[in-house]
Structure 1
Amino acid sequence: MSMSWKARRRWSILILVVGLPVYILVAWVVMSLIPRPPILVELLIYAALGIVWALPFKAIFKGVGKADPDAAPEDAPR
């Protein structure tokens, strides 16, 4: 069963407002616990962490930026 557009939109906002900052803090703490790697390796790690967080949520974010597909068209005559 797939989620409605409204539900996906609400979940995506929650993920971006709450989940992403928590993920950033966790990544920051984990990176501070390991010895500092060379700058290019560190840059690659942060780039990978920046991509990896969104992969599980791909289905939720898909199409959220577009208009509601279930809504009635605004230009339709009544």
Structure 2
Amino acid sequence: MALSYKARRRWSLVILLIGLPVYIIVAVKAVSLLDRPSILVELLVYVGLGVLWAIPFKMVFRGIGQADPDAKDSAD
């Protein structure tokens, strides 16, 4: 089932305002459980986790910054 443009906008806001801060807290806690690895390892883990969170939500964020494709043009 495909989400409408408005539904994708709403879900993207929920993901960015609620989900991303929670994910950041979990990522920091996960790295802290590694007993403070070297800075290079820590950087690689953060970069990997930073990319990993966006993969499942790629379809939700696609096209959000563009105009609503279902909206009627008022320029006529």
TM-score norm. by structure 2 comes to: 0.94
1:26 aligned partner, one-letter code: V
Query: 5+ unaligned residues in a row in structure 1: which ranges?
Result: none
Q: Following the alignment from structure 1 to structure 2, what is the Cα–Cα distance between the partners of residues 17 and 25? A: 13
The aligned residue for residue 24 of structure 2 is 24
Identity %: 59
RMSD over aligned Cα, in angstroms? 0.8
Q: Following the alignment from structure 2 to structure 1, what is the Cα–Cα distance between the partners of residues 30 and 45? A: 11
Alpha-carbon offset, residue 74 of structure 1? 2.5
The alignment of Structure 1 onto Structure 2 pairs a total of residues equal to 76
The structure with more radius of gyration: 1
1:11 aligned partner, one-letter code: W
Q: Deviations over 1:9-63 (max 9, x none)?
A: 0000000000000000011111111122221121111111111101000000000
TM-score norm. by structure 1 comes to: 0.92
Q: Which runs of 4+ in 1 moved over 3 A?
A: none
Query: 5+ unaligned residues in a row in structure 2: which ranges?
Result: none
